[in-house]
Structure 1
Amino acid sequence: MGFIHRKTSKQTRKLKTLLRLAISRVAVARRPRLARKSIATSDVGQLLALGHIDRAIHRVELVIQEGNMLEAFEMIELYCKRLIEKSEDLENPSECAEEIREAAAGLMFATGWCGDLPELLFAHAILTDKFGNDFASAAKNGTNIVDPLLVWKFTGNATNMELKNKVAKEIATKNMILLNFSEMTKANEDGEVPYHQDLELGMP
């Protein structure tokens, strides 16, 4: 006797198709962002090596922005795959496990931030029909069940000086550039970033 599988509605099948297309689109959208992040990271390393700390710190913003989008894409891809694998559960949204609701909410939130993924807009309409307007409203605002990490990846402040210093320090370490970040941090707190900082190349 074979296993009995629950049937999925036409609406759910359409959602699965959209999510598969979104996964393919993520792969395409990821490539230019990887390139931009790689170029920006290289630029930061060169600027740090030359002692142009202020320019390097400014360039770090692009590294952070592209990095955040790449990590957001990873989460979106994971959510798409989760909903595809558990599509049968979407026939009874009120009984969905929390991981399914989180995936649905995450994709709905991402819709407003991902022009690179137009399929999400159509998926959003189907998910709204399934989970209701209240759920959609909470997802749009990034509240309730939306993963705070995903919200931060889209809305986080890439100009935060503490974050920029942290990323610059990581790049300096990777490139074996020794910097006096304690003095740089003090300069930042005083409202300025020095144009040139004594440094040396070598093993950290």
Structure 2
Amino acid sequence: MNKIVTTQELIDILKKIASKIEMHEEELTDLDRQIGDGDHGTNLKRGFHELLPILESSSNKTTTELLNSCSMIMMSKVGGSSGPLLATAFMRMAKETELNKMLLAAAEGIKMRGKAAVGEKTMLDVLEPFAKTFDELLQKGENSKSALEKALKVAYDSKESIKNKPATKGRASYLGERSVGIVDPGSQSMYYILETLVENYND
């Protein structure tokens, strides 16, 4: 059964994502120092922290209104490539009401905005397999919680697999073979976002 997402559910999960990102800020920044600008964790923490006042005042908004507000915050407050990518993801999600369609739309938005494909060592390597697996399992009749848990395992395996390939996008691509063996910080942060969703999902 496809899950219609409510505004309160979005508010609750986004607050928890903000906490998770803050918890892992140093780890994400350390990863980014190895293959990027060294500011990924800091940027994400700032962006999600800026969301908190919006979330506190959004209980009467529609999910579309809330997600569009999130998009604007990501664009204006998160530096680097992650800001525009996450802004696009939220903007695409705002057009949907069902969780599986929101996730597919987010992945498609990031793919188009970043001109990326799975296998290029980006956050898409985590989000797209997750979204597609979740959707496919739902269509086969799996319940949402079980489908999410299985999708998270697929996303984790994809993240770990791509770690052993060279980066071909962004600043990390300048390192070529030296990026092999390092987890992409965008992939890791996206994994934490999805992990938080799965941990806190209720049918």
TM-score by length of 1: 0.27
TM-score by length of 2: 0.27
Q: Identify which of structures 1 and 2 has the higher relative contact order when contacts are C-alpha pairs closer than 8 Å and 6+ apart.
A: 1
Give 1 or 2 for the bigger CA radius of gyration: 1
